[in-house]
């Protein structure tokens, strides 16, 4: 779960729904709670956990529900035996319709017991919440998808469109085996889909129990790090010279600071600005509406840019995040490196961003090297009414009076790997969070029981509706 939800910190509408207190769980919800607990209590942090074990446990639940061995594909690689995943298939009745993929990552951010009030890998219920690492990001969705497949099988439900569940590892840690990437590159036959439903969407409350909005993520930025390096013969600090690797790097980073990429829009961001502007009101809201109508309105853009979230949503951004250099306090530096983190607007190749950095820095003595491999270009999905329509229809049922806002994330998920396959990925609404984002990636991560259970019902109905549609 990334920063898309930060886009939803808007003024609450008068019609916002209220998140009710947790009622007693139904029998089917108790069964789901058992599955969810097992997944949360299976440590899948990269340092000391095992996604492979989690995938195997979810496969066992699917097999117990009636899935055959040939419907369940457990995968891993010899160099990453604990980073395995699972693909499960519920065959549809139509051979003409491409499948839909239910994607969720089962790895989690690291968590230290000494930092938490509660054991991060013990499932704890307290004050109407479930606590544990991953209860939101992303084991809530992984459990909901797995549970939906279990329920469909037990009910004898046959969708028109084949449904595939993909539980993957590696989303939360850079530079390690990534299951979604591996599937997209090595099992295109399984991932060649009409669309993918993924994390990244969701609702937000006003912090007082009212659900302000539900978010449908339609597009996200790509992630790329660039390492900048300057070198110099160095020398004794008692006889300094202006030719200094640190000064050279400092000058380069100041140019990165001042690099402003041009405004860009997709159908999603244009729609978001218009609808979110109406909700917000005031000068900023009016400017958002004006910019949606006319992206060339520089006065409106200047006002919208005062909000750093909206500024980032509308362009590629690059920022210095790390610097390291020098070898002694009494010596001129011989080598300095810095990391520049770029979040690249959908449709823009990373080599164009590298070229922009080279042009802005304008110093052949600064070496610039991309760090995250050859990521595919992030695909900006269409605002497809076949997706948006069912999302809005069910949202009106489960969250009456709450607007559905299509938005583009300034962060990134595993959706980027489907760009090379030209498969659109949508971050679905359903569960909701508070403005503090419920401790995601932080301490004492939590999810409201009503949010989880209502989101489960919503998302199960959504999958059925999309699975039964032409």
CATH number of the domain enclosing 135: 3.40.630.10
pLDDT at position 7, please? 52
Q: Same domain, yes or no, for 56 and 186?
A: yes
* Predicted TM-score of the model (pTM): 0.91
Could you give the 3-state DSSP secondary structure of residue 395? helix
Do residues 169 and 85 lie in contact, with contact meaning Cβ atoms separated by under 8 Å?
A: yes
Whole-angstrom Cα distance, residue 141 to residue 108? 13
At 239, phi and psi to the nearest 5? Answer: -130, 70
Asked whether residue 351 is assigned to any structural domain, the reply reads yes
Whole-angstrom Cα distance, residue 420 to residue 148? 28
Asked whether residue 311 is assigned to any structural domain, the reply reads no
Q: Same domain, yes or no, for 227 and 210?
A: no
Q: Same domain, yes or no, for 332 and 344?
A: yes
Whole-angstrom Cα distance, residue 132 to residue 118? 8
Q: Same domain, yes or no, for 249 and 339?
A: yes
pLDDT at position 22, please? 75
Domain C-terminal end among 370, 404, 435: 370
Q: Same domain, yes or no, for 230 and 215?
A: no
Q: Same domain, yes or no, for 116 and 226?
A: no
Q: Same domain, yes or no, for 119 and 16?
A: yes
Domain C-terminal end among 370, 389, 409: 370
pLDDT at position 379, please? 82
Q: How far is CA 266 from CA 139, 231, 260, 273, 318, in A?
A: 30, 41, 19, 11, 20
Do residues 443 and 437 lie in contact, with contact meaning Cβ atoms separated by under 8 Å?
A: no
Residue spans of beta strands (DSSP E) within 44-201: 72-77, 80-90, 100-105, 124-126, 129-131, 163-168, 195-198
Asked whether residue 194 is assigned to any structural domain, the reply reads yes
Those residues whose C-beta lies under 8 Å from the C-beta of residue 444, and which sit 6 or more positions away, are 116, 117, 118, 131
pLDDT at position 374, please? 66
Asked whether residue 23 is assigned to any structural domain, the reply reads yes
Q: Same domain, yes or no, for 226 and 200?
A: no
Q: Same domain, yes or no, for 62 and 207?
A: yes
Query: Residue 361: which CATH number?
Result: 3.30.70.360
Asked whether residue 420 is assigned to any structural domain, the reply reads yes
Whole-angstrom Cα distance, residue 156 to residue 148? 12
Q: Same domain, yes or no, for 181 and 229?
A: no
Whole-angstrom Cα distance, residue 66 to residue 157? 12
Q: Same domain, yes or no, for 462 and 322?
A: no
Count up the domains in the chain and report the number. Answer: 2
Do residues 344 and 326 lie in contact, with contact meaning Cβ atoms separated by under 8 Å?
A: no
Asked whether residue 298 is assigned to any structural domain, the reply reads no
Domain range holding 322?
222-261+316-370
Domain C-terminal end among 328, 343, 370: 370
Asked whether residue 306 is assigned to any structural domain, the reply reads no
Calculate the dihedral angle through the C-alpha atoms of 144, 148, 151, 152, rounding to the nearest 10 degrees: 180
Q: What pLDDT tens digit does each residue of the chain (470 aa) get?
A: 455 445 544 433 434 677 767 789 999 999 999 999 999 999 999 999 999 999 999 999 999 999 999 999 999 999 999 999 999 999 999 999 999 999 999 999 999 999 999 999 999 999 999 999 999 999 999 999 999 999 999 999 999 999 999 999 999 998 899 999 999 999 999 999 999 999 999 999 999 999 999 999 999 999 899 999 999 999 999 999 999 999 999 999 999 999 999 999 999 999 999 999 998 999 999 999 999 999 999 999 999 999 999 999 999 999 999 999 999 999 999 999 999 999 999 999 999 999 999 999 999 999 999 997 767 788 889 999 999 999 999 999 999 999 999 999 888 899 999 988 999 999 999 999 999 999 999 999 999 999 999 999 999 999 999 999 87
Q: Same domain, yes or no, for 392 and 358?
A: no
Asked whether residue 269 is assigned to any structural domain, the reply reads no
- Give the sign of the dihedral formed by CA 261, CA 219, CA 217, CA 410: negative
């Amino acid at each position: 779960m990334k920063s898309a939800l930060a886009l939803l910190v808007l003024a609450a509408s008068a019609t916002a729904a209220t998140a009710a207190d947790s009622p007693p769980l139904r029998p089917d919800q108790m069964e789901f709670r058992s599955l969810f607990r097992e997944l949360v209590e299976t440590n899948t942090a990269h340092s000391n956990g095992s996604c492979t074990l989690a995938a195997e446990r979810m496969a066992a639940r699917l097999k117990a529900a009636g899935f055959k061995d040939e419907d369940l594909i457990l995968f891993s690689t010899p160099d990453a035996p604990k980073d395995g995943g699972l693909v499960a298939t519920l065959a549809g009745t139509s051979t003409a319709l491409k499948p839909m993929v239910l994607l969720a990552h089962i790895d989690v951010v690291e968590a230290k017991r000494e930092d938490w009030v509660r054991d991060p890998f013990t499932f704890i219920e307290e004050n109407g919440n479930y606590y544990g690492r991953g209860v939101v990001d992303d084991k809530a969705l992984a459990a909901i998808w797995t549970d939906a497949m279990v329920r469909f099988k037990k009910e004898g439900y046959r969708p028109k469109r084949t449904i595939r569940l993909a539980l993957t590892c590696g989303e939360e840690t850079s530079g390690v085996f990534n299951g979604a990437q591996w599937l997209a590159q090595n099992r295109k036959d399984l991932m060649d889909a009409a669309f993918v439903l993924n994390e990244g969407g969701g609702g937000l409350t006003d912090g007082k129990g009212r659900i302000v909005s539900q978010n449908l993520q339609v597009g996200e930025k790509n992630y790329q790090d660039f390492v900048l390096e300057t070198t110099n013969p160095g020398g004794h600090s008692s006889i300094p010279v202006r030719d200094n690797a640190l000064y050279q790097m400092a000058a380069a980073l100041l140019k990165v600071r001042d690099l402003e990429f041009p405004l860009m829009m997709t159908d999603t961001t244009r729609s978001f600005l218009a609808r979110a502007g109406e909700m917000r009101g005031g000068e900023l809201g009016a400017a958002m509406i004006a910019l949606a109508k006319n992206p060339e309105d520089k006065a409106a853009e200047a006002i919208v840019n005062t909000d750093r979230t909206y500024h980032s949503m509308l362009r590629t951004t690059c920022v210095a995040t790390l610097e390291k250099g020098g070898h002694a306090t009494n010596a001129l530096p011989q080598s300095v490196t810095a990391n520049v983190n770029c979040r690249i607007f959908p449709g823009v190749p990373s080599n164009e961003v590298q070229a922009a950095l080279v042009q802005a820095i304008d110093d052949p003595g600064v070496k610039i090297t991309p760090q995250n491999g050859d990521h595919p270009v992030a695909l900006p999905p269409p605002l497809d009414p076949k997706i948006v329509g069912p999302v809005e229809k069910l949202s009106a049922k489960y969250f009456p009076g709450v607007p559905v806002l299509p938005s583009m994330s300034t962060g990134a998920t595993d959706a980027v790997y489907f760009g090379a396959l030209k498969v659109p990925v949508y971050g679905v609404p359903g569960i909701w969070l508070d403005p503090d984002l419920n401790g995601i990636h932080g301490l004492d991560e939590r999810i409201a029981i009503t949010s989880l259970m209502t989101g489960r019902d919503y998302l199960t109905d959504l999958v059925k509706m999309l699975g039964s549609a032409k």
